[in-house]
């Protein structure tokens, strides 16, 4: 009697569980794939900074977008872009509202909230740009004094330059404003990274009007050098990200791309596609 009751109870349980499992599987299959992707995707802070980051409506393009696309193809990772001005991008990363940021400079202040993917994925030259025929003399750091220099708010160029309160700096929200100010005579020099500045200058048709200067910002009085400062580009996770456990997989894929020379090829490809 007892044995029959036990088998009868198990049979009833099985008859209840299987329909429930089938129902849950059905519901899961009905969930739209984009919804699932959004829940698992890494949110990436993304501003407009050609050729590294470019936005056309809902389409993300540029060097960084191409790099992330290839990482996504090589891993299980997916990405969702959050477009905002650069200063806002940094705040989003600091607050953990995005998981990842690209084309990010490494400094002590940012390490408090950013978990950097090591090593850097690209090295660019830091240059100064002025108008041809302006008669500017730039051979060493000390020659910067007395000139009005355009900088972007929130950008980090070099520790000495960033901390030097004796330099006359004109701060703007976006690089495109600096070019307008230079041609209007409101500033004498622009400090910028070579790849994006040269790309944007060609885009504006102003390359022939500009003179490029390069020297070692850390050089002393006895070293005029003529060697450009190298700026390292990093990707970094927010220390408040709930998806920071993906960092190892992400870093491995990025490192492989750097080792194969794939990043340099992407840079060349995107620059070559400029209209």
3-state helix, strand, coil in the chain (%, to 5): 45, 25, 30
pLDDT (average), residues 64-70: 97
Q: Would you place residue 243 in the very low, low, confident or very high pLDDT band (cuts 50, 70, 90)?
A: very high
The DSSP code for 227 is: P
Say how far apart CA 219 and CA 216 lie, in whole Å: 5
pLDDT (average), residues 148-165: 88
Q: Residues 243-250: contacts with CB within 8 Å, 24+ apart?
A: 243/42, 243/99, 244/99, 244/115, 246/42, 246/77, 246/99, 247/115, 247/117, 249/75, 249/76, 249/77, 250/42, 250/71, 250/75, 250/77, 250/100, 250/117
pLDDT per residue over 106-122, tens digit each? 989 999 999 999 999 99
Say how far apart CA 105 and CA 96 lie, in whole Å: 18
Exposure pattern of 192-231 as b/e (b: 16+ CB <10 Å)? bbbbbbbbbbeeeeeeeebebbbbbbebeeeebbeebbeb
Say how far apart CA 96 and CA 113 lie, in whole Å: 9
- Phi then psi for residue 150, to 5 deg, are -85, 130
pLDDT (average), residues 205-218: 82
pLDDT (average), residues 81-109: 95
pLDDT (average), residues 148-166: 88
- Phi then psi for residue 218, to 5 deg, are -90, 5
Tokens of 35: 């919804």
Counts of helices then strands in the chain (DSSP H, E): 10, 11
Say how far apart CA 54 and CA 57 lie, in whole Å: 10
| pTM of the predicted model as reported, rounded to 2 decimal places | 0.76
- Measured from the Cβ of residue 256, the count of other Cβ atoms closer than 10 Å reads 12
Closest to 52 measured CA to CA, from 13, 86, 94, 15: 86
pLDDT per residue over 163-204, tens digit each? 899 999 999 988 779 989 999 999 999 999 999 999 988 988
Closest to 53 measured CA to CA, from 92, 100, 99: 100
Q: Would you place residue 20 in the very low, low, confident or very high pLDDT band (cuts 50, 70, 90)?
A: low
* Distance (Å) of CA 72 to CA 172, 237, 249, 266, 267: 34, 16, 11, 15, 18
Position with higher pLDDT, 265 vs 219: 265
Say how far apart CA 170 and CA 265 lie, in whole Å: 35
Closest to 46 measured CA to CA, from 96, 101, 2, 105: 101
Tokens of 240: 């408040």
27-41, 51-65, 241-255, range with the lowest pLDDT: 27-41
pLDDT (average), residues 14-25: 50
The predicted structure's pLDDT at residue 21: 47
CA dihedral 82, 198, 109, 72 (to 10 degrees): 40
The predicted structure's pLDDT at residue 227: 57
């Amino acid at each position: 009697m007892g044995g029959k009751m036990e088998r009868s109870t198990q049979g009833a349980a099985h008859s209840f569980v299987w329909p429930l499992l089938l129902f849950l599987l059905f519901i899961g299959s009905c969930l739209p794939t984009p919804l699932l992707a959004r829940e698992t995707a890494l949110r990436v802070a993304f501003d407009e900074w050609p050729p590294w980051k470019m936005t056309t409506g809902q389409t993300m393009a540029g060097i960084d977008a191409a790099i992330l696309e290839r990482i996504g193809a090589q891993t299980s990772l997916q990405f969702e872009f959050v477009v905002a001005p650069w200063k806002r991008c940094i705040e989003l990363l600091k607050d953990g509202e995005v998981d990842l940021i690209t084309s990010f400079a490494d400094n002590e202040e940012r390490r408090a909230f950013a978990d950097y993917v090591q090593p850097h994925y690209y090295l660019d030259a830091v240059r100064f740009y002025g108008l041809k025929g302006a008669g500017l003399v730039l051979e060493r750091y000390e020659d910067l004094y007395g000139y009005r220099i355009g900088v972007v708010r929130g950008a980090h160029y070099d520790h000495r330059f960033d901390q030097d309160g004796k330099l006359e700096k004109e701060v703007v929200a976006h690089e495109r404003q600096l070019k307008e100010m230079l041609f209007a005579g409101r500033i004498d020099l622009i400090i910028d990274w070579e790849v994006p500045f040269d790309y944007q200058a060609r885009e504006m048709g102003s390359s022939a009007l500009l003179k490029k200067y390069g020297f070692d910002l850390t050089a002393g009085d006895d070293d005029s050098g003529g060697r450009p400062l190298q700026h390292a580009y990093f990707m970094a996770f927010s220390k408040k990200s709930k998806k920071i456990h993906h960092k190892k997989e992400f870093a491995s894929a990025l490192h492989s791309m750097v080792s194969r020379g794939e990043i340099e090829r992407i840079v060349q490809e995107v620059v070559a596609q400029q209209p």
